[in-house]
Amino acid sequence: MRAVGFDVNGGPEVLRPVELAVPEPGPGQILIRVAYAGVNHGEMQHRLGDLGAVDGIEVPGLEVSGEVAGIGPGVTGLTHGDPVAAYLPDGGGYAQYAVAPAAFAYPLDGISVRDGGGAALTLTTAYGVLAGAARLTPGDTVLIHAAAGGVGSVAAQIARALGAAAVHGTISSAAKADYAKRFGYDAVHLRDGFAAHVSEVDVVLDPIGGPVRQASLSVLAPFGRLAVYGEAARRPDLSLPVLSFRAHNRSLTGYDIADLACRAPSLVRSHALSALSLLASGAIRLDITTELPLAAAAEAHETLQAGLNIGKTLLRVDQE
């Protein structure tokens, strides 16, 4: 089968076409004939070596859609040809065929296969950060950093669907503001100096880290929650004194889908199904701004690494 992989860590240029054997689904797994693969920040981290040194040819790709093409021992409830969206904790989605845990393969009822390609990681994360980590309750006010990105553009809509009273966002450049406002933000601010323009909020979603994380604490209302789920700025971890949380009635909470997938897979599935049902009902939408052929994965990574992406980017996997 055709895939895109890398055998050395580095920039987008290390991504190259490779020919690999079709993987076999093991116990509890399914094989998916891939139609679309989502492009995510986590795949950039994989390529850069943040998740460990490369070991042979590695194929990135944390979320795909397609149809069930093989069923491993012990899997029930799925049959050959079923359209599914799947989260792939071990990657492998930039390929014609990918293996996924059946627990993280979701039937595409009322959702197009194209939308499904950007759903299983992106929507699940947005839902999990808001409902799981930040414990959003109706009436809460929310601030979302990287408001125009893949997770950010759906997080604003999910926050609304869960009853948020106000949703604010930040972006790195004014060029992204008009785009972000399409997703239900009450206001979108430049991230530089954002704290001066945002009144206190109950929840902040922070996938950026560094000084943005520090500044985010200062905009929390009493009993506010700073939910951290990424370090896109690639800055060193913060040292945060515990006493300041007590003194200011603040909480810090975290979300990591890979950890949940190991320790609480049923939570990942439940967040995914809740988010997918919002998508199927039309309460939220995925905005696919860029669709490229699989062979152009490096181009997609260049845009992502430069922080120039908006909405969701998909790779189209032609099967010939």
Ligand X SMILES: NC(=O)c1ccc[n+]([C@@H]2O[C@H](COP(=O)([O-])OP(=O)(O)OC[C@H]3O[C@@H](n4cnc5c(N)ncnc54)[C@H](OP(=O)(O)O)[C@@H]3O)[C@@H](O)[C@H]2O)c1
What residue ranges bind ligand X (CB under 6 A)? 40-42, 121-122, 125, 146, 148-152, 171-172, 176, 207-208, 229-230, 232-234, 255-257, 304, 307, 309
**Residue 97 or residue 106: which is nearer to ligand X going by CB?**
106
**Residue 45 or residue 277: which is nearer to ligand X going by CB?**
45
In the complex, least distance from residue 76 CB atom to ligand X, rounded to whole angstroms? 27
The answer to whether 310 and 177 are in contact (CB under 8 A) is no
Question: How far apart (Å, rounded) are the C-alpha atoms in residues 251 and 244?
Answer: 10
The dihedrals phi and psi of 307, each to the nearest 5 degrees, come to 70, 20
- Adjacent-strand bridge partners of 99: 31
In the complex, least distance from residue 247 CB atom to ligand X, rounded to whole angstroms? 28
**Residue 66 or residue 150: which is nearer to ligand X going by CB?**
150
Residue, CB closest to ligand X: 149
The answer to whether 143 and 205 are in contact (CB under 8 A) is yes
**Residue 35 or residue 44: which is nearer to ligand X going by CB?**
44
In the complex, least distance from residue 8 CB atom to ligand X, rounded to whole angstroms? 21
Q: Give the Cβ contact number of residue 195 at 10 Å.
A: 16
In the complex, least distance from residue 264 CB atom to ligand X, rounded to whole angstroms? 13
Question: How far apart (Å, rounded) are the C-alpha atoms in residues 66 and 75?
Answer: 17
**Residue 31 or residue 65: which is nearer to ligand X going by CB?**
65
**Residue 176 or residue 250: which is nearer to ligand X going by CB?**
176
In the complex, least distance from residue 272 CB atom to ligand X, rounded to whole angstroms? 12
Question: How far apart (Å, rounded) are the C-alpha atoms in residues 189 and 172?
Answer: 9
In the complex, least distance from residue 81 CB atom to ligand X, rounded to whole angstroms? 29
**Residue 93 or residue 230: which is nearer to ligand X going by CB?**
230
In the complex, least distance from residue 114 CB atom to ligand X, rounded to whole angstroms? 17
Instruction: Tell me the one-letter amino acid at 53.
Output: A
In sequence order, what DSSP letters do the residues of 170-185 get, joined into one string?
A: EESSGGGHHHHGGGT-
Question: How far apart (Å, rounded) are the C-alpha atoms in residues 259 and 265?
Answer: 9
Question: How far apart (Å, rounded) are the C-alpha atoms in residues 55 and 282?
Answer: 42
Q: Which helix (H) or strand (E) holds 253?
A: strand 250-254
The dihedrals phi and psi of 145, each to the nearest 5 degrees, come to -80, 155
